[in-house]
């Protein structure tokens, strides 16, 4: 892709990150935040403007469009999916991207107090000489997953502008609320009509994934009894103390910061409380189903023991599954992985086939009848102020999408 298309891709991405589209956990509304409608409506209009057909936006903010086949023989309809919400782990409001051209390999100053340094983030070193898009240190960037959205839209526009590139029918879909585990809740798989799809939601260049964590959430509430501390003996029940006791009951070394590869974890995402009320929120992750079940059972056992100690009404547990390991379903359409791996090689990218230490809409969509391997979108350090994405990685991801279309068409 030439400089004109690279510039289109960059400007498209910068436009998307200007939307505040953070999702909100543990709410009933869908989408979880009204602000997600702003980018959804923008994408709806943009897909129409570039020439896709049957473009739609439904009552759940799912945006879809279709690129018709330009070949005379039938091939599988494939799809590409990305999410437009950003993580609630860090602010996604008023994002001010910095563009570092011809990166010199040293520290990138985000602001007066923070720097993005290869001494801390070694992956930066491989992008010397490239264009780095990063934050100003006050927000996340939103490359997860607005980079994926930009790559899909740009690839579709490129195919429309270059009809000599042969492809079958391609469906594209953009979702809200992926970051809170609900992105696929109402996804209209039948309307999407693809035999398989790809989520463009991976991290660094080359990633190709078809295994992911089994995932659940746990929300524990503690109800105490507040009395004057000077007269509390035998009367006070401190909700925050109960919350600390629960947290101490989980394995201290089975957390994200001490695990890697296929190792699972318990991750406390939020804690708050006082004497009267306290809450803990966890996500539970494991690639192995037996270990995943055991993790959930441990939480239930700790809650049960504490209920016996303090009283059943003192502790409430809300725990539920979010998604499962997609490998079981993707293997039924394994040509999807083989084609993607070939596409990476064809555009000069070395495939890095590995399990996802996280999850995507594709994990749940796979169990809804739409197998979805995951392909890199190019970003690093998601969900925080050190997030960045090399423009060249986004270009390669866009080229991969185009090449997959060609390979499915038999070209």
Q: Which residues are identified as catalytic?
A: 85, 178
d(CA 286, CA 297): 13
Q: In a 3-state reduction of DSSP, which class is residue 220? A: strand
d(CA 36, CA 398): 24
Task: Give the Å distances, CA to CA, from 170 to 23, 70, 123, 372.
Answer: 28, 10, 33, 14
| 290 CB neighbour count, 10 Å cutoff | 9
- Are 204 and 153 in contact by the 8 Å Cβ rule? The answer is no
Q: φ, ψ for residue 187 (rounded to 5)?
A: -60, 125
The conformation of residue 196, written as its DSSP 8-state character, comes to: E
Q: Structure tokens of 153?
A: 């839209």
C-alpha Rg value of the chain to the nearest Å: 23
Q: Structure tokens of 75?
A: 């091939």
**Residue 329 neighbours by CB under 8 Å, 6+ apart:** 366, 367, 371
């Amino acid at each position: 892709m030439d400089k004109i298309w690279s510039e289109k891709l960059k400007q498209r991405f910068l436009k998307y990150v200007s939307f505040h589209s953070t999702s909100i956990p543990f709410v009933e509304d869908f989408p979880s935040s009204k602000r997600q409608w702003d980018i959804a409506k923008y994408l709806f209009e943009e897909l129409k403007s570039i020439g896709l057909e049957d473009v739609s936006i439904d009552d759940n903010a799912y945006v879809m469009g279709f690129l018709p086949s330009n070949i005379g023989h039938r091939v599988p309809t494939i799809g590409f999916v990305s999410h437009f919400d950003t993580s609630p782990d860090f602010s996604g409001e008023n994002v001010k991207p910095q563009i570092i051209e011809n990166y010199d390999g040293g520290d990138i100053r985000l602001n007066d107090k923070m720097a993005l340094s290869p001494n801390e983030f070694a992956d930066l070193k491989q992008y010397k000489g490239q264009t780095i898009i990063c934050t100003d240190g006050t927000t996340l960037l939103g490359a997860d997953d607005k980079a994926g959205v930009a790559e899909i839209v740009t690839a579709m526009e490129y195919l429309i502008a270059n009809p000599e590139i042969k492809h079958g029918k391609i469906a594209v879909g953009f979702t809200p609320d992926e970051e809170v585990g609900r992105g696929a809740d109402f996804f209209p798989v039948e309307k999407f009509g693809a035999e398989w799809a790809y989520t463009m939601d991976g991290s660094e260049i080359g990633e190709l994934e078809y295994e992911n964590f089994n995932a659940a959430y746990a929300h524990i509430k503690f109800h105490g009894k507040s009395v004057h501390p000077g007269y509390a003996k035998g009367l006070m029940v401190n909700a925050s103390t109960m919350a600390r006791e629960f947290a101490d009951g989980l394995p201290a070394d089975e957390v994200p910061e001490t695990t890697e590869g296929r190792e699972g974890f318990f991750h406390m995402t939020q804690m708050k409380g006082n004497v009267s009320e306290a809450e803990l929120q966890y996500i539970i992750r494991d690639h192995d189903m037996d270990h995943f079940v055991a993790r959930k059972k441990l939480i239930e056992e700790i809650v049960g023991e504490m209920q016996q100690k303090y009283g059943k009404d003192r502790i409430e547990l809300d725990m539920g599954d979010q998604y499962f390991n997609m490998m079981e379903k993707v293997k039924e359409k394994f040509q999807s992985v083989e084609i993607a791996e070939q596409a990476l090689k064809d555009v000069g990218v070395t495939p890095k086939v590995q399990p996802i230490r996280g999850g995507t809409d594709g994990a749940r969509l796979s169990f809804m009848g739409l197998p979805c391997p995951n392909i890199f979108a190019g970003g690093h350090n998601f969900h925080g102020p050190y997030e960045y994405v090399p423009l060249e990685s986004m270009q390669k991801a866009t080229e991969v999408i185009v090449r997959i279309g060609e390979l499915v068409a038999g070209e």
